Structure 1
Amino acid sequence: MAMETMALPKTFNPQEIEEPIYQWWEQRGFFTPRIDPARRPFVISMPPPNVTGELHMGHAMFVTLEDLMIRYHRMKGEPTLWVPGTDHAGIATQVMVEREIAKEGLTRHQLGRERFLERVWAWKEKYGGTITRQLRRLGASCDWTRERFTMDPVYSRAVREAFVRLYERGLIYRGEYLINWCPRCETALSDLEVEREEEEEGLLYYVRYPLIGEGWEGPTAPWGSGRWAEGARDFITVATTRPETLLGDTAVAVHPEDARYAQQVGRTAVLPALGRRIPILADPAVDRDFGTGAVKVTPGHDPTDYEIGERHGLPRVNVMNPDATINENGGPYAGMDRFRAREAIVADLQKEGLLEKIEPHRYAPGRCQRCGTIVEPMLSLQWFVNVKPLAEEAIRAVKEGRIRILPERFERDYFRWLEHIRPWCISRQLWWGHRIPAWYCDDCGHITVAREDPTACARCGSARIHQDEDVLDTWFSSALWPFATLGWPDDTEDLRYFYPTTVMETGYDILFFWVARMVMMGLAMTGEVPFRIVYLHGLVRDEKGEKMSKTKGNVIDPLVVIRDYGADALRFTLATGSTPGNDMRLSLQRVEGNRNFANKLWNAARFILGALSGPLRRPSWDDPTLTLPDRWILSRYHRTVAAVTQALDAFDFGEAGRRIYEFTWGEFCDWYIEIAKEPLYRGSEDDAARTRGILVYVLDGILRLLHPFMPFITEALWGYLKRAGAVDDAEALIVAAWPISGPVDERAEAEMQALIETVRTIRNAREAHRVPSERRIPAWIAAKEALPVLEGHRHLLATLARVDPDRLVLAAEFPEPPPEAVIYPAGSIQIYLPVAGLVDRAAERARLERELEDLEARIAKTEALLASEFSVRAPAAVVEKERRKLEELKARREQLRAEWERLRE
């Protein structure tokens, strides 16, 4: 790498190293695996971002977690494949291109299908690489030689093959059903393409429907005359948020157990405006607490009403055109825009005395994800997949353990959705996408579905055929992603070796819309599950826990974060701040803290590289010259390797990262490097050689452990170690071996911990009382069972704690506390520091009072946590950790109270 030709810079600058390192990785082919029939591969199919998209925090999250897994398994020596690619994103891309041509005063219809698609392909060529370049900035080590696009010729053939196979099985059909319709884009939408957010400005309209009977048999005057319901004596009032859809009502429904309407079930109401006679029926789907408890039933414009209509055999009336204007079924409102029709209908209802009242109402209308238009549920002739048989297979795969979902709690949601699944509308009224492979005969009306474009009708042989104008739902093509990217339907070497894939990592919000469909299609097309593990991450929210949106102005741009703090800091923050299936709050303060961690690592490496001027002896556990700090750091390092490996194997990435952080900063940098200065600079040559070897051994291991999280800085520093001749087992860290845990020494850890706690306590006391660093103070230490350790390391203790060695008194116990001294407990060890010249009694009491106040708050918070559902729902080990923390806090509180009393006396 270019950076290896120069000395390690004094300060860490991620902008200088990240892109050169990535280019070097890619040029050297480190991302491309070798097929090894003797080894099981580790495979991830990247969730394909939109081809015209730009990097956002959702991308940053999945890239971080997937790249972490890929790098870990690559270092374990497994053939590791991460398949990258992009999705053509039918609606999103078409909307963007339509906006572009609108600037020229054109519409797609003016251009025509062929010329419009030429413009879309040109757009794709110009902007399609933006997202993949940005994924590289995050360090995504995917195999770009296998990059796929969902509109590639090979992939398109797979899409057609899947469609034809399902059609031949009778699972794809054409029919009329209720779908989500965007009047602006004029296409059907999947549920995922409909966004719902509660809005304040909704209204609830209470409308009176006259009832037949008691001398009134229907309207006797024209609608709008003010006398339409003249003579009607009995009414049923319904509440609705969409008065314009009453034009499509075919019933009024109440709950079967609602006593208020028991006498009205079976009667007939008259629909305002149109005079249509509609039944009053009972159905359990009615919410008795909504409005009046009586609801209008519009099977042609509401999903729940559609189901009610199916159960009761109601007619379905569509009252809207594709552009959301009222059609001929709307009577006097035909031709009006739906919202203009709403105003007119409400005005006429008031005129006729049929509008009881209007109330403010919070509601969440569905909006098109791409253009923001309110979506209209609408009956439409579309292509559907009968997914019920496929869903049953997908349920079985998870129940039998062939697929594991993490966190497991999402299995319930997965089952619930698949058990109640509806036919899947797969046609879209767009031009950009996979065109439906169905041809209609102009002579006999037969539909020919074929793998290759036909020249004649399959039934009558007529050449007068035309292809369906619609394209397939983007989710249909992306449901084939795990196997179509590997060459299916051909029997390729990649498909045989890399399929089924290992992990599907994605957001929990598309468990149903994408993951479940991949499972269904994988089983239907290949007979195999598409992946063995589903890992679901949560949403990335702002530091207040709110969803990021441009409207709120709280969007955090990952590219800006990378520019300011580096990709490593962002990645480490995302990986350690998230837990499976839970949303995370992203704070730039935390990113900055992890940038500081990178700086700490950089400075530690500079120190170690600067100390490599003499001989270096590789550490050996059997070396009799190993000191207590040596055995301690080696033991702690080996324990960290085991813990991190176990956490990564359990997909607990946050815990793995935290263990590396705590060991690197809290033990290696803060303690061992400080301790190592004595043997390096003032010890024998043998001591220095041994210490150099341990420093390099542990730093090398830290870089390997940290590489999946922070790939750039670790590769850079490892390159300098390699150049210095300190490591030589691989060409680069990215392909170096994962570290192996070694022996641990619990005695050395316990003894060193006693020494560390003693030093830390004295340091904290000095800092609290602002004792100058150069001043050596006296100390009396009642060490109890730790006396041999502290006595044996008297010089180290005095050096680290800045204690005067001539006035350091060590004993097991002191019958009487030294006069004019303040006690500072360090576990079971009691440290006495002189009051004179060190402690202001009043200030010390005030400090103790503040610390006691803080402790009381922490104790109360922990007690409240343990009294909540946390103690039942959290893992037992986590709950036990909180209980131990509470005991420690209470013990500390008693120590402080005793010290406060002593100072008062």
Structure 2
Amino acid sequence: MRFYFLSKNMKQELEKAYEPQKYEDDIYATWEESGFFNPDNLKAKGKPFVISMPPPNATGILHLGHASALAYEDLMIRYHRLKGRKALWVPGTDHAAIATQTKVEKILAKEGSSREELGREKFLARVRDYVAGSQDTIRNQTRKMGSSCDWSRERYTFDKGLSQAVSEAFVRMYNDGLIERDYRIVNWCPRCASTLADDEVEYEEQDAKLYYIKYGPFTIATTRPETKLADTGVAVHPSDKKYKKYIGQTLDIDLAGHNIKVKVFSDKAVDPKFGSGAVGVTPAHSAVDFEFAQKNGLEIIKLIGEDGKLLSSGGKYKGMDTLSARKVFVKDLEAADQIVKVEDYKNNLSICYRCDTPIEPLTSEQWFVRVNKKIPGRNKTLKQLATQTVKSGEIKILPDRFAKTYYHWMDNLHDWCISRQIWWGHRIPVWYKKSDTDIKLTLFRHTQSEANALKVGAGHKDYKLTEKGVEQAKKIAGEINPDDFDIIFSSDLSRAKQTAEILFPGKKIISDKRLREVDFGDMTDKSSLMINKYRAKGFPNGETYQDVRDRVQLFLDDISSKYKNKKIAVVSHSGVWKVFEIIFNGADFTEEFLSTHAALGAKEYDLDKKSEEIYVGHDKPKGKGWIQDEDTLDTWFSSALWTFSTLGWPIKNKIGFNKSLVEKVKNGEKTITHRLSEKELSVGETCIVENTQTKKSFGFIRITEVKKIKMKDLDLSEPGQGEYKSIEEFRKRIAKYYPDMDVTINSDLWVYRYIYSKKSDLDTFHPTTVMETGYDIIFFWVARMILMTEYLLDQKPFETVYLHGMIRDKAGKKMSKSLGNGIDPIEMSQKFGTDALRLSLIIGSAPGSDLKLYEEKIAGYRNFVNKLWNISRFIFSSVDKPKSIKTEPKAKTLADKWILSEFNNLAKEVDVDLAEFRFSAAGEKLYDFTWNKLADWYLEISKIEKNKDQILLYILERLLILWHPFTPFVTELLWQQFDTKEMLMVKSWPKTGKVDKKSLENFSDLQKLVIKIRNLKAENKIPPKDLPNCYLESKIFSKEDLAVVAQLSRVTLVDSLPKAKSFTIGKTKGKINLVKELSDKERSDLEKYIKATEAKLNNKNFTDNAPPQVVADTKKRLTEAKNKLK
């Protein structure tokens, strides 16, 4: 290992005060140049400790929240590095799609331009330039905080490798049916002109109006009367008797001249106590109403466009924004006498988390991650995977109260809308092509099976046809001409295959599992009556009809690209017929429709109606006419891959040729000599040796050190077994086990191949150890990381989630630009030093709790850092050449035993606290030991007892190590005063010695004794510099100990003191003279006062004529003066 030193000007006599501005930049540069931020350069052999830095948005500068995260994370990394673990902290930045695009659009607006005016490519180039500048700022600010992250592994969510990871994740999820494009209700921000995920919507309580409107035979209550223009249903509770007669009817409703048709239906979700108990249903603009429409087959009429204005479906209100339309429509309703009443109402307004614009729920075709669909081959949904990982204890959330919040969010998680209508982001890896396909599909349902005869659901269970079923199939066969069909497909289940063989005798029949009946799961072999209850919601441990739709759609996509202009017959099941009706004829997933059964006979469909081919992949498909999807992916999609995409996923164990290795063969000795360059080979690399003349491989050499390797050292067990029969076999096996191995080098009769068999970063460092982040993004980010990592890697992304709180001002208010109460962390760092800022962010904090921060607090910790500096300065000044003390010095006095025991106790407790994430507790204990125990007590005693150099150096050396994770700059600088060639950041955590409990108890009594005497002096107004007589008698303290007490408490020890104030501390008794000694002047003044007062009292004229109280007070003062004189 190479050792690095701080520059010479740092190893000099310490100045009276620590000035961080002079040193911090140089110290950080030295750390970075050392290479020790990279765990590959450490001696550490312990288990890796890994943190993926939450990537700040590449939109500007770091704020206090980032500074807080950096302080915590660096503390953990430095602590575990000192503990001998391979500590890796991966830094990076996030492209922050909407946030970054919005920033650049604002810049363009100031320039009088827009992204539309620039065009997509020029706009993206402008964004890239902006991001590059921001990234430089963020890197510098991150360095300023002392962050010991591995810059050689820095990542950006738009890096080539990470972009490939995003595409890979999308493709895999699409192929598994976990991503689909669908027409659904979404959260739409008119200002951002993009969709938002559910958890990107914030809520703001507002004063609103609740309008009661005459609505045919009903009165409905709504806060958004304008949306009633697109109602297609009325929902009532099934137990509401007053509306029972209307259920099932379709009514014509006149709303101030605007006519709508609504279907009345019942649903238990309706609250009969809200309003009149009847609810107008607007499927296109309410998530709840959209679900009502899906279940009840309601028409979906889009009323509000992406610009927030009403469409032509709004009639005369077309072109108005929603608020304007509301005002006009309400006036029209009032004129038509259809407003029953208006009430004041509090409701939560949905707003965009980025720009605070009110959200419009509207229908749109978007891409979704299906969190409730079972993953093929795993029988669990994404939601179940992410929940189980935390519930099982594989991932611990700190503080644990947030686990409940996590479960609540997971329980209510809906499909995640991942497409965004913006330009800056990962473009969706989907291409479309107008299809010239003209495929004629004819669907045949299998004839009667044994299950049909029994009137039970077969699902995936393999039943055969009955005799009646065979006859039915023969009858259909007589009605068709098999030669009319080019291709015949069939479900792989027997009842469908038998039917196909009868319909198309002698024809090739292609079996396809995707054409199977819906899997009834636990309802297999149950009656239709029982099965019908589950048709709309899905079968327990089986499938939903959406699952069937997905696999049938994949089938249709396949045949549309392979069998253009063909006539295709499909023999399948009733469930597949239902899905065909949904896909081709717009049928809905209602219980009523799903409970129907397909009739026998041919049903024709034209695949040309689906006039668009879709390709999902990493790169544009070959051929003309392919156009990529214009939309980009939600930022959180790429961020969800952060812990593993930054470590190389999906590329694992990449093998390459090591050009830095020079080899030479000495045929006579049959050896290979290695001469290594500066970058040495890693242990575990492999050299393959073969003879080109005999076509035989001699095997593998596993490199363990730089030496001559003899042929007897060859390992013939990997990757094949034994020697190879031919060079061809050798090459095949190498290609199999090391497909990425690079070139071959020939030298005379020998061939060498050098390959990396070293584990990849992904193997070594994943799962990561800790995810430290703010509690406010547990839903945005943490949950999605768990979900995606479990799915893609079948691993947890991290072991522990440590959540920090928000930073607030002195009054507890949230910091913001508008309030003007924000604090710039870099400005504070420059003013008070980074170490002081870090301490102010850590000490006094608790996981998941908000922290108050203000300039006076940071200044206070600046004072403490200076205190540590002065303690060190005092200790270093007492010796010529401060040397490292290897072993604990021998304690000669009670104070020695006490301070060594206190330090050993401290080191153990801080170790445990840091390991268990009690960072504030560890900092508080270090603070107390440093200022109170070491500085206020032991250093003062060292001035009395002398010869404490060894103990002071021993403690200081180790104390700097303990403080290093908290205050890296000042400790590294002070460390350089020792006669050492190593940097503090790569030292080992100190081993602790024994704790002498008896000495701790005795010294505690000594402290109490000193404090008692000091308090007695203060209470009696004896100046601290005065040394009153004191007598001490102790069963535990030696004369030397009592001498220390005397000097610390500023008293003069005497052998006896008959008349004095008595006190007892433990097993020590004492007396102290609390009468203040008079100076000559004070004595002279008292004597004069006494003489004058006595003369006054002897004067009969005074005693006879003065008021009695005055005479009494004069006598009292005389007595007090005489007592003082004694």
Task: Name stretches of at least 5 consecutive residues in structure 2 with no aligned partner.
Answer: 1-5, 373-380, 436-610, 654-759, 1078-1126
Tell me the secondary structure at the aligned position of residue 439 of structure 1.
strand
Tell me the secondary structure at the aligned position of residue 800 of structure 2.
strand
CA distance 1:765–1:183, change in 2 (3 Å): farther
Shift of 1:664: 1.1
CA distance 1:755–1:258, change in 2 (3 Å): farther
CA distance 1:252–1:572, change in 2 (3 Å): farther
Aligned match of 2:304: 320
CA distance 1:106–1:568, change in 2 (3 Å): same
Aligned match of 1:386: 370
1:19 aligns with 2:11: no
Aligned match of 2:619: 452
Aligned match of 2:339: 355
1:556 aligns with 2:823: yes
Aligned match of 1:757: 1008
CA distance 1:542–1:283, change in 2 (3 Å): farther
Partner amino acid, structure 2, of 1:15: Q
Q: How does 1:273-288 map to 2 (within 5 A)?
A: 273=256, 274-278=258-262, 283-286=267-270
Shift of 1:399: 3.0
Structure 2: distance between partners of 1:557 and 1:588: 10
Aligned match of 1:901: none
Shift of 1:763: 2.8
Aligned with residue 960 of structure 2, among 698, 703, 725: 703
Shift of 1:450: 1.4
Aligned match of 1:891: none
1:73 aligns with 2:80: yes
Aligned with residue 665 of structure 1, among 923, 931, 934: 931
Structure 2: distance between partners of 1:753 and 1:306: 72
Shift of 1:359: 4.7
Structure 2: distance between partners of 1:539 and 1:828: 50
Partner amino acid, structure 1, of 2:24: E
CA distance 1:79–1:244, change in 2 (3 Å): same
Deviations 1:774-807 (A, max 9, x none): 11234466x7xx6432755211111001122238
Deviations 1:333-383 (A, max 9, x none): 110112222222233233333334545544442332332322222221101
1:404 aligns with 2:396: yes
Tell me the secondary structure at the aligned position of residue 79 of structure 1.
strand
1:248 aligns with 2:230: yes
Aligned with residue 920 of structure 2, among 654, 667, 677: 654
Aligned match of 1:632: 898
Partner amino acid, structure 1, of 2:360: E
Structure 2: distance between partners of 1:308 and 1:807: 97
Structure 1: distance between partners of 2:340 and 2:1066: 74
Structure 2: distance between partners of 1:758 and 1:396: 58
1:430 aligns with 2:450: no
Partner amino acid, structure 2, of 1:651: F
Aligned match of 1:747: 998
Aligned match of 1:643: 909
Q: How does 1:336-735 map to 2 (within 5 A)?
A: 336-388=320-372, 389-443=381-435, 444-456=611-623, 463-492=624-653, 493-613=760-880, 618=885, 623=890, 626-680=892-946, 688=947, 691-720=948-977, 722=978, 725=979, 728=980, 731-735=982-986
Shift of 1:248: 3.3
Shift of 1:286: 4.9
Structure 1: distance between partners of 2:855 and 2:240: 54
Structure 2: distance between partners of 1:260 and 1:831: 93
Structure 1: distance between partners of 2:1066 and 2:818: 53
Question: Do 2:10 and 2:976's aligned partners in 1 also have CA atoms closer than 8 Å?
Answer: yes
Aligned match of 2:1084: none
Question: Do 1:209 and 1:271's aligned partners in 2 also have CA atoms closer than 8 Å?
Answer: no
Shift of 1:422: 1.1
Question: Do 1:403 and 1:529's aligned partners in 2 also have CA atoms closer than 8 Å?
Answer: yes
Structure 2: distance between partners of 1:12 and 1:631: 31
Aligned match of 2:541: none
Aligned with residue 332 of structure 1, among 316, 334, 343: 316
1:272 aligns with 2:255: yes
Structure 1: distance between partners of 2:829 and 2:38: 26
Shift of 1:768: 5.5
Deviations 1:401-435 (A, max 9, x none): 33222222322232332233211111100111111
Tell me the secondary structure at the aligned position of residue 47 of structure 1.
coil
Q: How does 1:84-233 map to 2 (within 5 A)?
A: 84-199=91-206, 202-212=207-217
Structure 2: distance between partners of 1:175 and 1:753: 73
Partner amino acid, structure 2, of 1:497: T
Aligned with residue 804 of structure 1, among 1052, 1058, 1062: 1052
Choose 600-609 or 345-354, whichever is displaced more. Answer: 345-354
Tell me the secondary structure at the aligned position of residue 976 of structure 2.
helix
Partner amino acid, structure 2, of 1:794: L
Tell me the secondary structure at the aligned position of residue 209 of structure 1.
strand
Aligned match of 2:479: none
Partner amino acid, structure 2, of 1:374: P
1:236 aligns with 2:219: yes
Tell me the secondary structure at the aligned position of residue 819 of structure 2.
coil
Partner amino acid, structure 2, of 1:606: R
Tell me the secondary structure at the aligned position of residue 41 of structure 1.
strand
Structure 1: distance between partners of 2:77 and 2:184: 43
CA distance 1:247–1:771, change in 2 (3 Å): farther
Question: Do 2:81 and 2:986's aligned partners in 1 also have CA atoms closer than 8 Å?
Answer: yes
Question: Do 1:52 and 1:130's aligned partners in 2 also have CA atoms closer than 8 Å?
Answer: no
How does the TM-score come out when normalised to structure 2? 0.65
Partner amino acid, structure 1, of 2:34: R
CA distance 1:429–1:741, change in 2 (3 Å): same
Aligned match of 1:860: none
CA distance 1:793–1:180, change in 2 (3 Å): same
Tell me the secondary structure at the aligned position of residue 489 of structure 1.
coil
Shift of 1:137: 1.2
Deviations 1:834-859 (A, max 9, x none): 56559xxxxxxxxxxxxxxxxxxxxx
Q: How many residues align?
A: 779
Return the index of the structure with the highest Cα Rg: 2
Shift of 1:670: 1.1
Shift of 1:7: 2.1
Structure 1: distance between partners of 2:406 and 2:882: 60
Structure 2: distance between partners of 1:359 and 1:819: 86
Choose 702-711 or 266-275, whichever is displaced more. Answer: 266-275
Question: Do 2:309 and 2:320's aligned partners in 1 also have CA atoms closer than 8 Å?
Answer: yes
Tell me the secondary structure at the aligned position of residue 1009 of structure 2.
helix
CA distance 1:615–1:543, change in 2 (3 Å): closer
Aligned match of 2:739: none
Shift of 1:136: 1.2
Deviations 1:464-517 (A, max 9, x none): 221110011111111111111111111142112111211111122222221121
CA distance 1:16–1:262, change in 2 (3 Å): farther
Q: How does 1:784-799 map to 2 (within 5 A)?
A: 787-789=1035-1037, 793-799=1041-1047
How does the TM-score come out when normalised to structure 1? 0.81
Question: Do 2:70 and 2:142's aligned partners in 1 also have CA atoms closer than 8 Å?
Answer: yes
Structure 2: distance between partners of 1:824 and 1:319: 89
Tell me the secondary structure at the aligned position of residue 574 of structure 1.
helix
Question: Do 1:333 and 1:341's aligned partners in 2 also have CA atoms closer than 8 Å?
Answer: yes
Aligned match of 1:880: none
Choose 691-700 or 562-571, whichever is displaced more. Answer: 562-571
CA distance 1:713–1:554, change in 2 (3 Å): same
Aligned match of 1:814: none
Question: Do 1:210 and 1:269's aligned partners in 2 also have CA atoms closer than 8 Å?
Answer: no
Give the percent of matched residue pairs that are identical in Structure 1 and Structure 2: 44
Structure 2: distance between partners of 1:642 and 1:586: 30
Tell me the secondary structure at the aligned position of residue 503 of structure 1.
strand
Partner amino acid, structure 1, of 2:625: R
Structure 1: distance between partners of 2:1030 and 2:318: 94
